Amino acid sequence: MKRHLLSAADLSRDDAELVLSTAAELRSLADRPIKKLPALRGRTVVNLFFEDSTRTRISFEAAAKRLSADVINFSAKGSSLSKGESLKDTALTLEAMGADAVVVRHGASGAPHRLAHSGWVRSSVVNAGDGTHEHPTQALLDAFTMTRHLGSLDGRRVAIVGDVLHSRVARSNALLLATLGAEVTLVAPPTLLPVGVDSWPVETSYDLDAVIPKADVVMMLRVQRERMNGGFFPTPREYSRRYGLDGRRMATLQDHTIVMHPGPMVRGMEISADVADSDRSVIVEQVTNGVAVRMAVLYLLLGGAQPVGGDE
C-alpha cells in the first residue's frame, strides 16, 4: 500500500484484496464481547472534519479506538479562514501534536491531496470524502459487503443508481469495482451524470427497469439536494417514479441480488421504506463492515508488519 489513501485508484488489485482480507479478520472482532486490539497503541489518529458527518466520523473513531490508537476529533466546521490558509494552519497544528494519521473530510475536492502532498504533515492521510470527488473507504466497505454476500466480484454486475453527479461514493466505487473485476452500470437521469463519465470504467443507462433485473447488486444513492440549486429533475415525485427503488421494482430483482445504500437515506425519495427494511437490504451491515474496513486501512497504513492479532 502507498502511504496515503486518497483515491480508490491508489489501490492495486493486490492492495484492495489485502484490505478486504484484513478487514475479514478484523470483522470477527465485532461479534466478540471485548472488541479491542493493541495493534496501534501509542499511535495518534486525528479525525479532521470540515464537513458535517456523523456516520463516517464515528466509524473512523470506533475503528481507531478498537486498535487502541489515541483519537483526536478536530471539527473544523465554521472556520472563517480562507480554505488554503485554514488547511495549512490546521495541518501545522496537527503535525505539532504528533498525528500519525489524519482522516480528512472536506467540502473541496482535492483537499486531502493538498494535505498529503504539501509537505505540511508527515502523517498518512486518509480521504474520508472530498467534495464530489472521492470516498475510498466507502468503496472498500461496499466491496467488502458485496464479497460477503456474493464471493468474488469478478464479472458481477453492479448498478449504481441516482445522483451520480454529486456522488463521491459513485466515483470511488466505479474505480474500485473495476479494479476488482466487476461490471458497473451507472443509472441516472442525463442531468445527474457527470461530464466526462465516458472516461470512467463503466456503462451508463437512463433506464432503471432495464438494468436492475440483470444486476447482482443495486446500490442506491442519495439525491444530494444540498449540492443542487434546482433544475436537475422536474419534481421529487417524478424522480422517485423513474429512479426510485420501490417494492414493485424490487420484485424484478434476481433472488440473490442485494440492495445497498451508503446512507444517509431519504426514504420515499430514492428508496422506499419497505425496500430499505427488506431482507435484501444490507444497509445496516454496511455500517458494521465500515468499522472493520477502516480498522484494516488504519492498520495497514500505520501498523503494517505485525500480525493483526498481536501477542501483547
Q: Which residues bind ligand NCD (CB under 6 A)?
A: 53, 55-56, 129, 135, 138, 168-169, 222, 224, 262-263
CB 287 within 8 A of CB 58: no
Q: Which is nearer to ligand NCD, 135 or 157 (CB)?
A: 135
Catalytic: 83?
Answer: yes
Instruction: Work out whether strand 183-187 and strand 157-161 pair parallel, antiparallel, or are unpaired.
Output: parallel
Burial class of 311 by CB neighbour count within 10 A (0 to 12, 13 to 18, 19+) = exposed
**Residue 105 designated active-site:** yes
Flag whether 35 is marked binding: no
Facing residues of 23 across strands? none
Grid coordinates belonging to 282:
444490507
Helix (H, G, I), strand (E, B) or coil at 283: helix
Told to judge if 77 belongs to the known catalytic residues of this protein, a careful annotator would answer no
Q: CA nearest 201: which of 224, 222, 180, 223?
A: 180
Beta carbon nearer to ligand NCD, 75 or 224:
224
In the complex, minimum distance from the CB of residue 79 to ligand NCD, in angstroms, rounded to a whole number: 19
Sheet of 70-75, strand order: 70-75, 44-49, 101-106, 124-130
Residue closest to ligand NCD, measured at CB? 222
How many Å apart are CA 151 and CA 161, to the nearest integer? 22
> Which element (helix H / strand E) includes 15?
helix 13-27
**Residue nearer to ligand NCD on the CB measure, 12 or 54:** 54
Q: Determine whether 66 is an active site residue.
A: no
> Which entry of 83, 88, 148, 225 is annotated as an active-site residue?
83
Write down the least CB distance from residue 180 to ligand NCD, Å: 20
Task: State in angstroms the smallest separation of the CB of 214 from ligand NCD.
Answer: 25
Provide, rounded to whole angstroms, the least separation between the CB of residue 265 and ligand NCD: 8
Residues serving a catalytic function are 55-56, 83, 105, 135
**Residue ranges of the binding site:** 55-56, 83, 105, 135, 138, 168, 222, 263-264
**Residue ranges of the binding site for carbamoyl phosphate:** 55-56, 105, 135, 138, 263-264
